[in-house]
Chains A and B, each alone.
Chain A
Amino acid sequence: MPPKRLDLREFFAATRLVIVAGKGGVGKTTVTAVLARAAAQTGLRVVVVELDGKPALGRLVDDLPVIRLTAADALADYLETHGLKRVAKRLATSGVIEVVSTASPGIDDIVVLGKLKQLERSDDWDLVVVDGPAAGHAITFLLSARSLLDTVRSGPVHTQATDVLEMLADPARCQVVLVALPETTPVNELIETAYALEERVGVQLGPVVINGVDEGDPLSPGPNTPEPLVAAAAFRNARRALHRREIERLGNDLAFAQIHLPHVPTADLDADDIRFLANLLLTDQLLEPTT
């Protein structure tokens, strides 16, 4: 089968909410910024949402609007709009909110998802891109609606959970983008997460993003090449071989379109690097897994 190209423009236009998820250290925030920037380049009105409270995102997306959502704020807001307006402040300062969210697990996730649903329904935006929950939390986060439906049989929480489930099940409204590095452990984790999300949450998975890919032709030293050049070439070739191997393995195990973000040779990305990567995405970096 020849590699089929994925049109990122079509992907952005075909859904309303993109949740970016991946383990710590894989560059989830970078990928969120790149996707948001690329979508904005295609003319969509894009809003970025961060759930982790990491200040880096605002710097990376530059002039795109960023909304910070924390579970505590969302819950306070939720209680306020459900008849607790007068005591909302006291609730926050007394710590009751933390207790409520701990004592009924999932309620903090469901109010955050509820907020995302509000943004998704809003006419102010064409696309909402979310820097998803932290390491390992993505599955429980997205499962919260289903679990709450079982425990809370009626009332406002039940309605909220039903609405959220409806959104998650509809690919035209919501899709999840998983991120990994082209290395053994991150690829294993991505595959596990992908199966869990599809089977247990029933949410549509969009393209898989492989971040930090070092691609290039093998470097071959000649007989008179100075030793440090040989060592440097051997190091680079070995890294590239690892990346190729892992990308291929991922493609064999998961039949999703892959987006490869090239390794940017810097220790600290900025908004210009994000623009560069976004432009790459919109031109030629989109691949179906090679077969």
Chain B
Amino acid sequence: MSDIGTVVSTADVIICCGSGGVGKTTTAAALGLQLAQIGRRTVVVTIDPARRLADALGLADGLTNEPTRLDIGLPPESVGELWAMMLDTAATFDGLVRANAPDAEQAERILTNRFYRNIAGALSGTQEYMAAEKLHALHADTRFDVVIVDTPPTRNALDFLDAPGTLARFLDHPLFKILMLPTRRGLKVLNVAAQPLLRTIAKVVGGDVLADAIAFFQAFAGMETGFRSRADEVMALLRSDVTRYVLVASPRADTVEEARYFAARLGDSHLPVGALIVNRATPSFPVPAGRRAARDAALWRNLDELNAIAAAEHIQLADLLVDVADAATVWVPLLASDVHDLTSLHQIRELLFAPALFDAEMSAE
């Protein structure tokens, strides 16, 4: 088993995955803090709409789709930097369209299309795809040495690993195939009026929806090649050995189940789990030898209760620990307060990278 310091300090890309509520965003920020501390120029990308990262980093105005440099109190001679940004799926998609369109006019036709506006932010898979796209762009950005990505808290967070083709998933979209007929010279849009199926759909959802979709696919024709080759580059980066996957879990049955799902998913793609971080673990305490004084009965009950919970949590985690036996594993204890400012984020960072401090921290509370 390797240690987490080595796993993250030698990475160029770190991808954090786990279910909602396990402290994934906080963990991503704490990893960023550590990397900046050891002199790396780090950018953290979050997709969290709840602004937790912004809150934790003390950013009153929140984050935007552009990286913002954070003041984390490093000494002036330090070369490390911490930047953060919030992924704007639709804006990233727009950028991709502009980069791939043969001319500004075609780009504009796509960007103003109502069907496009709806799918850019909402089509399932788009968010994951755009997170991967942004990751690639930031990795190539000379301002940064390392990119940390906080993935969406959904099961399909890792869907972009499937195949390069899936990255350009909306080109494989059924509607595309329904509306476009391959011809010898390229693709041709079907006549909606001639299709009984489409005619009936139009009756229920309104003809505008379909008309917009067709206009979109027409405008998009010819741009697939650019999208697909970009997707291949992103895939290569995700599979390269500078990319590390960090699983975040908490010791509860449902989040452990999700973490095991992600571990299996990575395994299917022959990618190792670099580290497992178990957040919000109940601390256990050594049981003193000797007689239990009646005066301390309530205190003993408390110690026994906490130790029983901690033991149950370890049992809960047992299968996952076997699944990711080669990963660096760190337990981060439940804290007396939750992480909502830079000071408490530093505390998490210390717990992640110097677990020996744990006891001192706890008794200082």
Contact = CB atoms under 8 A, between A and B. Distances in A.
Whether chains A and B associate is yes
A96 B253 contact: no
A83, A99, A105, A221: residue with the most chain B Cβ atoms closer than 10 Å: A99
Contacts of A152: 206
B362 A25 contact: no
B287 to A, nearest CB: 7
B251 A103 contact: no
A188 B56 CA distance: 13
A219 B299 contact: yes
19 contacts: A23-B50, A83-B204, A94-B178, A96-B178, A100-B201, A102-B124, A103-B205, A103-B213, A104-B205, A104-B206, A152-B206, A157-B205, A222-B295, A224-B293, A227-B288, A229-B303, A231-B285, A239-B334, A265-B308
A95 B197 CA distance: 13
Interface string B168-192: 0000011100100000000000000
A185 B344 CA distance: 13
Interface in A2-25: 23-25
A79 interface: yes
A136 B49 contact: yes
A134 interface: yes
A236 B50 CA distance: 28
A98 B124 contact: yes
Interface in B13-70: 19-22, 49-50, 52, 55
Q: What size tier do the contact residues of chain B reach?
A: 35 or more
A156 B206 CA distance: 10
A67 interface: no
A229 B153 contact: no
B187 to A, nearest CB: 17
The binding surface of chain B is classed by DSSP as helix
Interface in B227-252: 250-252
Interface residues of A, number: 62
Contacts of B362: 231, 234-235
Given A228-B287, A233-B299, A233-B302, A265 B340 contact: no
Interface of B: 19-22, 49-50, 52, 55, 115, 118-119, 122-124, 153-154, 173-175, 178, 197, 200-201, 203-206, 209, 212-213, 250-255, 283, 285-288, 290, 293, 295-296, 298-300, 302-303, 305-306, 308-309, 312-313, 315-316, 334, 336-340, 359, 362-363, 365
A184 B339 CA distance: 8
Contact of B209 (A90, A103, A268): A103
B119 A103 contact: yes
A103 B212 contact: yes
A196 interface: no
A221 B153 CA distance: 42
A1 interface: no
Contacts of B363: 230-231, 234
Contact of B299 (A91, A102, A134, A225): A225
A169 interface: no
Interface of A: 23-26, 29, 54, 56, 79, 82-84, 87, 90-91, 94-96, 98-100, 102-105, 107, 134-136, 152, 155-157, 183-185, 188-189, 219, 221-222, 224-236, 238-239, 241-242, 265-269
Contact of A136 (B50, B313, B336, B340): B50
B365 A238 contact: yes
A135 B153 contact: yes
Contacts of A229: 285, 288, 296, 299-300, 302-303
A105 B122 contact: yes
A232 B306 contact: yes
Contacts of B204: 79, 82-84, 155-157
A160 B196 CA distance: 25
Contact of A232 (B118, B123, B302, B338): B302
B302 A219 contact: yes
A102 B308 contact: no
B340 A83 contact: no
A229 B203 CA distance: 71
Given A155-B206, A228-B288, A267-B251, A99 B55 contact: no
B21 A26 contact: yes
B296 to A, nearest CB: 5
Contact of A99 (B173, B315, B316, B334): B173
B303 A83 contact: no
Contacts of A239: 334, 336
A83 to B, nearest CB: 7
3 residue pairs, one from A and one from B, having the closest CB atoms:
A25-B21, A24-B20, A95-B174
Given A23-B21, A219-B302, A102 B118 contact: yes
